[in-house]
Structure 1
């Protein structure tokens, strides 16, 4: 990312910036947000999608909601795909509306993998890196349902899946998008391959951090054969799937500057070339250590008769149980996604003994 000529008198957030091959009029990037509005049999974007994104074209860049790369990728109801001609035509209306309003938009390619449910696949089990339940929630036509133990992808199925990413990239180009983002976050398939708990493979796609990242590398190679690497990004968060630290992605390309917020890292190359070619300049995001997560320090002593205390939920969703009169402990590490801080009155003995772990409210992953 590089600065373009600044506009005198304009606030920094509204200054233009170069992001790979994209010249953005400002630094406001609209994050991808699943709308679940493709309520048609084709799972194709509708006129409502075109209106929704055109209304937000004032952002320097829009990252579209995650679009399924195949029928096997589906994991939530009414989320559009980008694997059929009808879906591609629907997205073409979206990009035309955004461009007509002066905006830019990139497509996010998604695959739910093991986090899906048989209800999305005619009763067939979804597939993941290994036959291990990710313990996620899938939104089905009959409501939210817990994920099951998936079947493990075969080597041939992995090759086919990578091919679906490439075809989705072709369709995104046909639809008129300005770039791509590979969804590698939270519960999606790429993150599952990167996760040592969910990926227990012993072949070329598992057993070490380098091999667990091979699926992502192969997907990048596939989409780079369609798009120039200066129009491709990877979405990877500081926290991984089911509360684990961010997957360790081995660095394979030169480092560059992240273009996203602390909660979501979408890394883009710094080349200013607009040519769409299969050159390999994409940079994977730097691994985020759990030690870099925001922390909140407990007060050194009670400050009032009410013995109020500052408490922050830890990454497993539980509240600290330190007694109000106990000495201060080390800073409490929290999740960057959910870290509310509140002053609480001291719990009673009955409250402490009956306390149960609070479960984080789940939202639809992007």
Structure 2
């Protein structure tokens, strides 16, 4: 294992940007150099559970655009029709939460979904409102919004944090242009954080290159939320309507300062990355569990590396994961629960290695081999080893 520098500090004096200024606890600095290792997935994981999703006419899924797990329920977003299907923890189909159509109980413009694990609800975005369901499929009503966003999180008071990703929300005609994080309360009050100079740069009908943030919200058992946004080197904590920096990540190799990236139009970023193929950039896909902090970063446009910080040992691993078990080119982690991580994989993309039997046994391995490309995707639940 390649250990990387790790330093604890007791103040907020570091190179990262801390726009909110709210302090709580100690800020942890993580220094990531460019000497990552290539590790096999089989070397990194402690356990793997493979869950084939039941394939029926009612449950058929073209591809999985997103997934979430909570309390024995697996929710998946079909990348083709944007509808959400619910399965139990063994992969048995339960229901589609709603059908697409123009009826009073249908969804007209499905886009994304989010699990509200605090209230055991699923929220589906529907152009200008959310449709809410409980885990039993009961419809709970709608919540209107007028804001452009790419993800959201519902807190204990049903206030909504939108990840707006530098969208210009001037269409609200209230003079309110959002930053990367916008709070919308139940009485429609707004507050925004992390507004960059790029806000307002793009004009209507102007073609633009956009770089999103994967998994910006990572809920924690204590009710707080770990939050990150594109081109930022700080990972934040949201709790009790307050935001404070929690981790400061330094990509210390051949990297471009996050503040410069944050204020560059997408076309300029695209050109710069093309000209610097070994650049470390765009910390993304941030997951925090009681035991780990896991995040990825790009290496130019051609590679992706993961950083795993073990909280108990205060050790870090900088690694490219080679999937020697399922043969995927990229491990698509979509959610975390407890200390488990969840991913999805299409059957046609799997090249099973007999080494997988060490984790799931020969009988389950043989059943996996019998799946066909026409079958539904499989869900992976896995845990990392305490020490690599």
Q: State TM-score, norm by structure 1.
A: 0.27
TM-score, normalised by the number of residues in structure 2:
0.26
Q: Greater CA radius of gyration, 1 or 2?
A: 1
Which structure shows the bigger proportion of residues in helix conformation?
A: 1
Q: More strand per residue: 1 or 2?
A: 2
